[in-house]
Structure 1
Amino acid sequence: MATNYFDTTHIDGKKLTPEEIGDAIRHKKFGVDVREAMAQGLEYCMQQAQKVDTLETAVKNLDERVTKLEVLPSEVTKIEQDIVDINRDITKLKTAVFGDGAVPIDDPVVEDNHDKRAQEVHFD
Protein backbone atom coordinates (compact mmCIF):
# COMPACT_ATOMS: atom_id res chain seq x y z
CA MET A 1 0.00 0.00 0.00
CA ALA A 2 1.54 3.26 -1.07
CA THR A 3 1.28 6.16 1.30
CA ASN A 4 1.51 9.79 0.20
CA TYR A 5 3.93 11.84 2.23
CA PHE A 6 2.43 15.11 1.10
CA ASP A 7 2.48 17.17 4.31
CA THR A 8 5.54 19.40 4.18
CA THR A 9 4.57 21.61 7.14
CA HIS A 10 6.65 21.37 10.28
CA ILE A 11 5.30 20.69 13.76
CA ASP A 12 7.51 23.43 15.28
CA GLY A 13 6.74 22.65 18.93
CA LYS A 14 2.98 22.48 18.49
CA LYS A 15 1.27 20.02 20.83
CA LEU A 16 -0.66 17.60 18.67
CA THR A 17 -3.91 15.85 19.50
CA PRO A 18 -3.96 12.03 19.31
CA GLU A 19 -5.67 12.25 15.90
CA GLU A 20 -3.09 14.74 14.62
CA ILE A 21 -0.30 12.45 15.84
CA GLY A 22 -1.62 9.60 13.70
CA ASP A 23 -1.96 11.85 10.67
CA ALA A 24 1.52 13.28 11.17
CA ILE A 25 3.12 9.83 11.40
CA ARG A 26 1.31 8.74 8.23
CA HIS A 27 1.70 11.89 6.10
CA LYS A 28 4.61 14.14 7.20
CA LYS A 29 7.26 14.36 4.53
CA PHE A 30 10.25 15.08 6.78
CA GLY A 31 11.65 12.58 9.28
CA VAL A 32 12.13 15.22 11.97
CA ASP A 33 8.37 15.84 12.00
CA VAL A 34 7.55 12.12 11.98
CA ARG A 35 9.91 11.56 14.92
CA GLU A 36 8.32 14.48 16.82
CA ALA A 37 4.85 13.07 16.20
CA MET A 38 6.01 9.64 17.39
CA ALA A 39 7.58 11.17 20.52
CA GLN A 40 4.39 13.10 21.31
CA GLY A 41 2.39 9.92 20.72
CA LEU A 42 4.57 8.03 23.18
CA GLU A 43 4.31 10.87 25.73
CA TYR A 44 0.53 10.82 25.35
CA CYS A 45 0.46 7.05 25.91
CA MET A 46 2.60 7.41 29.04
CA GLN A 47 0.29 10.10 30.44
CA GLN A 48 -2.71 7.83 29.85
CA ALA A 49 -0.90 4.90 31.48
CA GLN A 50 -0.17 7.04 34.56
CA LYS A 51 -3.86 7.95 34.77
CA VAL A 52 -4.76 4.26 34.58
CA ASP A 53 -2.26 3.49 37.36
CA THR A 54 -3.77 6.24 39.52
CA LEU A 55 -7.28 4.96 38.87
CA GLU A 56 -6.20 1.39 39.59
CA THR A 57 -4.77 2.45 42.95
CA ALA A 58 -7.94 4.39 43.77
CA VAL A 59 -10.12 1.40 42.87
CA LYS A 60 -7.96 -0.90 45.01
CA ASN A 61 -8.26 1.49 47.96
CA LEU A 62 -12.00 1.75 47.42
CA ASP A 63 -12.30 -2.04 47.25
CA GLU A 64 -10.45 -2.36 50.57
CA ARG A 65 -12.75 0.24 52.16
CA VAL A 66 -15.87 -1.51 50.86
CA THR A 67 -14.60 -4.84 52.20
CA LYS A 68 -14.14 -3.25 55.63
CA LEU A 69 -17.63 -1.75 55.47
CA GLU A 70 -19.13 -5.13 54.58
CA VAL A 71 -17.88 -6.44 57.95
CA LEU A 72 -19.76 -3.72 59.85
CA PRO A 73 -23.27 -5.27 59.81
CA SER A 74 -22.08 -8.34 61.73
CA GLU A 75 -20.21 -6.13 64.20
CA VAL A 76 -23.28 -3.92 64.64
CA THR A 77 -25.43 -7.01 65.23
CA LYS A 78 -23.01 -8.18 67.92
CA ILE A 79 -23.02 -4.74 69.57
CA GLU A 80 -26.81 -4.67 69.50
CA GLN A 81 -26.92 -8.13 71.15
CA ASP A 82 -24.41 -6.96 73.77
CA ILE A 83 -26.69 -3.99 74.53
CA VAL A 84 -29.67 -6.33 74.93
CA ASP A 85 -27.63 -8.56 77.27
CA ILE A 86 -26.41 -5.59 79.34
CA ASN A 87 -29.94 -4.18 79.65
CA ARG A 88 -31.23 -7.61 80.75
CA ASP A 89 -28.47 -7.85 83.39
CA ILE A 90 -29.21 -4.30 84.61
CA THR A 91 -32.88 -5.21 84.99
CA LYS A 92 -31.93 -8.34 86.95
CA LEU A 93 -29.59 -6.29 89.14
CA LYS A 94 -32.27 -3.67 89.85
CA THR A 95 -34.74 -6.39 90.77
CA ALA A 96 -32.19 -8.16 92.96
CA VAL A 97 -31.10 -5.02 94.79
CA PHE A 98 -34.32 -3.02 94.99
CA GLY A 99 -37.06 -5.53 94.26
CA ASP A 100 -38.22 -8.89 95.48
CA GLY A 101 -34.78 -10.43 95.07
CA ALA A 102 -33.24 -8.36 97.89
CA VAL A 103 -32.82 -10.56 100.98
CA PRO A 104 -31.33 -9.34 104.26
CA ILE A 105 -28.41 -11.31 105.67
CA ASP A 106 -29.10 -12.57 109.13
CA ASP A 107 -26.15 -12.57 111.47
CA PRO A 108 -27.13 -14.32 114.70
CA VAL A 109 -23.90 -13.30 116.44
CA VAL A 110 -24.22 -9.54 115.96
CA GLU A 111 -27.93 -8.73 115.93
CA ASP A 112 -27.66 -5.04 116.74
CA ASN A 113 -25.64 -4.18 113.58
CA HIS A 114 -28.07 -5.17 110.74
CA ASP A 115 -28.49 -1.68 109.38
CA LYS A 116 -24.78 -1.51 108.44
CA ARG A 117 -24.64 -4.95 106.79
CA ALA A 118 -24.79 -5.56 103.08
CA GLN A 119 -27.76 -7.30 101.53
CA GLU A 120 -27.48 -10.67 99.83
CA VAL A 121 -28.28 -10.43 96.12
CA HIS A 122 -29.92 -13.20 94.01
CA PHE A 123 -29.92 -12.90 90.21
CA ASP A 124 -32.31 -15.74 89.50
Structure 2
Amino acid sequence: MANYFDTTHIDGKKLTPEEIGNAIRHKKFGIDVREAMAQGLEYCMRQAQKVDVLETEVKNLDERVTKLEALPSEVADIKQDIVDINIEITKLKTAVFGDGATAVSLDNGKSDTENRKAKEISIDYGNDKS
Protein backbone atom coordinates (compact mmCIF):
# COMPACT_ATOMS: atom_id res chain seq x y z
CA MET A 1 0.00 0.00 0.00
CA ALA A 2 1.28 3.45 -0.90
CA ASN A 3 2.13 5.90 1.82
CA TYR A 4 0.59 9.34 1.13
CA PHE A 5 2.53 11.13 3.83
CA ASP A 6 3.75 14.23 1.94
CA THR A 7 1.46 17.12 2.88
CA THR A 8 3.66 19.88 1.36
CA HIS A 9 2.36 21.71 -1.68
CA ILE A 10 4.19 22.11 -4.98
CA ASP A 11 3.22 25.82 -5.23
CA GLY A 12 4.44 26.33 -8.82
CA LYS A 13 7.86 24.78 -8.21
CA LYS A 14 9.38 23.15 -11.31
CA LEU A 15 9.96 19.51 -10.40
CA THR A 16 12.70 17.24 -11.70
CA PRO A 17 11.66 13.93 -13.24
CA GLU A 18 12.56 12.14 -9.98
CA GLU A 19 10.54 14.62 -7.93
CA ILE A 20 7.59 14.15 -10.26
CA GLY A 21 7.61 10.39 -9.64
CA ASN A 22 7.87 10.87 -5.87
CA ALA A 23 5.11 13.48 -5.85
CA ILE A 24 2.73 11.21 -7.75
CA ARG A 25 3.47 8.36 -5.34
CA HIS A 26 3.49 10.26 -2.02
CA LYS A 27 1.61 13.60 -2.18
CA LYS A 28 -1.43 13.57 0.08
CA PHE A 29 -3.53 16.17 -1.77
CA GLY A 30 -4.98 15.61 -5.23
CA ILE A 31 -4.09 19.11 -6.37
CA ASP A 32 -0.38 18.34 -5.88
CA VAL A 33 -0.66 14.93 -7.53
CA ARG A 34 -2.40 16.48 -10.56
CA GLU A 35 0.29 19.19 -10.77
CA ALA A 36 3.03 16.55 -10.65
CA MET A 37 1.26 14.55 -13.35
CA ALA A 38 0.87 17.67 -15.53
CA GLN A 39 4.56 18.53 -15.13
CA GLY A 40 5.44 14.94 -15.96
CA LEU A 41 3.40 15.10 -19.15
CA GLU A 42 4.92 18.47 -20.08
CA TYR A 43 8.39 17.01 -19.51
CA CYS A 44 7.56 14.04 -21.76
CA MET A 45 6.28 16.38 -24.48
CA ARG A 46 9.47 18.48 -24.38
CA GLN A 47 11.55 15.32 -24.72
CA ALA A 48 9.37 14.11 -27.61
CA GLN A 49 9.85 17.45 -29.39
CA LYS A 50 13.62 17.12 -28.96
CA VAL A 51 13.44 13.64 -30.46
CA ASP A 52 11.44 15.02 -33.40
CA VAL A 53 14.07 17.70 -34.00
CA LEU A 54 16.87 15.12 -33.80
CA GLU A 55 14.99 12.82 -36.16
CA THR A 56 14.69 15.65 -38.70
CA GLU A 57 18.37 16.51 -38.34
CA VAL A 58 19.38 12.87 -38.79
CA LYS A 59 17.19 12.63 -41.91
CA ASN A 60 18.80 15.80 -43.31
CA LEU A 61 22.24 14.44 -42.48
CA ASP A 62 21.39 11.14 -44.17
CA GLU A 63 20.33 13.01 -47.32
CA ARG A 64 23.55 15.04 -47.26
CA VAL A 65 25.66 11.89 -46.86
CA THR A 66 23.82 10.27 -49.76
CA LYS A 67 24.61 13.29 -51.94
CA LEU A 68 28.26 13.18 -50.88
CA GLU A 69 28.44 9.49 -51.72
CA ALA A 70 27.43 10.38 -55.29
CA LEU A 71 30.35 12.79 -55.66
CA PRO A 72 33.05 10.22 -56.55
CA SER A 73 31.18 9.21 -59.73
CA GLU A 74 30.65 12.89 -60.62
CA VAL A 75 34.34 13.59 -60.02
CA ALA A 76 35.22 10.62 -62.24
CA ASP A 77 32.98 12.06 -64.97
CA ILE A 78 34.65 15.45 -64.64
CA LYS A 79 38.11 13.86 -64.81
CA GLN A 80 37.09 12.03 -67.99
CA ASP A 81 35.78 15.29 -69.45
CA ILE A 82 39.16 16.90 -68.70
CA VAL A 83 40.97 14.03 -70.44
CA ASP A 84 38.65 14.37 -73.47
CA ILE A 85 39.19 18.15 -73.61
CA ASN A 86 42.96 17.71 -73.41
CA ILE A 87 42.83 15.22 -76.31
CA GLU A 88 40.87 17.74 -78.38
CA ILE A 89 43.33 20.52 -77.47
CA THR A 90 46.22 18.31 -78.58
CA LYS A 91 44.47 17.65 -81.90
CA LEU A 92 43.84 21.36 -82.32
CA LYS A 93 47.49 22.21 -81.56
CA THR A 94 48.61 19.65 -84.10
CA ALA A 95 46.25 21.03 -86.73
CA VAL A 96 47.24 24.63 -86.12
CA PHE A 97 50.91 24.39 -85.21
CA GLY A 98 51.98 20.90 -86.20
CA ASP A 99 52.35 18.94 -89.41
CA GLY A 100 48.75 19.63 -90.42
CA ALA A 101 49.18 23.43 -90.38
CA THR A 102 48.60 25.31 -93.62
CA ALA A 103 48.61 28.93 -94.60
CA VAL A 104 45.24 30.62 -94.10
CA SER A 105 44.17 33.41 -96.41
CA LEU A 106 43.07 36.62 -94.74
CA ASP A 107 42.07 38.28 -98.02
CA ASN A 108 39.56 41.03 -97.44
CA GLY A 109 39.44 42.13 -101.06
CA LYS A 110 42.45 44.43 -100.86
CA SER A 111 45.61 43.98 -102.82
CA ASP A 112 48.81 42.51 -101.47
CA THR A 113 47.10 39.33 -100.30
CA GLU A 114 50.41 37.50 -100.05
CA ASN A 115 51.39 39.62 -97.06
CA ARG A 116 48.03 39.00 -95.42
CA LYS A 117 48.35 35.23 -95.02
CA ALA A 118 48.95 33.44 -91.78
CA LYS A 119 52.02 31.35 -92.29
CA GLU A 120 52.79 27.99 -90.73
CA ILE A 121 54.09 28.21 -87.21
CA SER A 122 56.39 25.57 -85.90
CA ILE A 123 56.99 24.98 -82.22
CA ASP A 124 60.00 22.90 -81.33
CA TYR A 125 59.01 20.42 -78.65
CA GLY A 126 62.30 18.61 -78.82
CA ASN A 127 61.71 14.87 -78.47
CA ASP A 128 58.45 15.41 -76.59
CA LYS A 129 55.49 16.02 -78.93
CA SER A 130 52.95 16.71 -76.11
Q: Give the TM-score, by structure 2 length.
A: 0.79
More helix by share: 1
Gaps of 5+ in 2: 105-111, 120-130
User: 1:92, CA displacement in angstroms?
Assistant: 1.1
Report the 3-state secondary structure (helix = DSSP H, G, I; strand = E; otherwise coil) of the residue aligned with 1:95.
Answer: helix
In structure 2, how many angstroms separate the alpha carbons of the residues matched to 1:19 and 1:95? 83
Which has the larger displacement, 80-89 or 16-25? Answer: 80-89
In structure 1, how many angstroms separate the alpha carbons of the residues matched to 2:57 and 2:102? 64
The residue number in structure 2 matching 1:53 is: 52
Residue type at the aligned position of 1:57: T
The residue number in structure 2 matching 1:33 is: 32
In structure 1, how many angstroms separate the alpha carbons of the residues matched to 2:30 and 2:23? 10
Cα deviation 1:10-34 (Å, max 9, x = unaligned): 1000000000000000000110000
Change (3 A) 1:92 1:115: farther
* Pairing 1:77–2:82 present: no
Which has the larger displacement, 34-43 or 60-69? Answer: 60-69
Q: What is the alpha-carbon root mean square deviation over aligned residues?
A: 1.8
In structure 1, how many angstroms separate the alpha carbons of the residues matched to 2:73 and 2:23? 60
**Aligned residues, how many?**
112
Gaps of 5+ in 1: 106-111, 120-124
Q: Give the TM-score, by structure 1 length.
A: 0.82
